[in-house]
Amino acid sequence: MDASTRSSEKLRQAVDGFWETYPPLWRMIQAHIRLVAVEQFNITVEQFHILRHIRRGRDSVSALAEAKNISRPAISQSVDLLVTRGFIVRTVNPQDRRHVKLDLTADGNALMDAIFGDTRQWMMKTFSLLSADEIEALTCSMESLKKIL
């Protein structure tokens, strides 16, 4: 077997390993976030994702609708509820009253910190089953994946 064939085979094995590992891991993480958001903090997964998008800089109903690929009215209903619950605040731009900026309130940020903190602790507990060498290899592979993303 020549070097090119070996390299191609290793790449195929890496891709196969990715599909066997990352989708199930991501489903586990999503299930945990769902559990924490819904059961501990009484918000829906959809509301969690809206808060997450706002936290990452999507600051209007239009931007949220585009990011989630759903209608503005569908997003508006969820935003209205999150405003009512005190997790989001709307601010009208004085220069352009058509643009209403969305921001997380202190309670909204605290909620997100709690959900992400709980999930981080759960992941640390899960990953603690790995050896130090395995954790190092996992960290290196994450750095490699970040390069191509």
Three-class SS of 54-76: HHCCCCCHHHHHHHHCCCHHHHH
pLDDT, one tens digit per residue, over 107-138 is 999 999 999 999 999 999 999 999 999 999 99
**What is the pTM for the complete model shown?**
0.76
Q: How many angstroms separate the CA atoms of 32 and 29, rounded?
A: 5
- Encoded tokens for 141: 């592979």
Q: Say whether domain 3-148 belongs to CATH 1.10.10.60.
A: no
Task: Please report the pLDDT score of residue 70 as a whole number.
Answer: 87
pLDDT, one tens digit per residue, over 67-119 is 888 888 889 999 999 999 999 999 987 887 778 899 999 999 999 999 999 99
In degrees to the nearest 10, what's the CA dihedral of 121, 103, 76, 29? -10
pLDDT, one tens digit per residue, over 28-70 is 988 998 889 888 889 988 899 999 999 999 888 989 988 888 8
Q: How many angstroms separate the CA atoms of 53 and 67, rounded?
A: 8
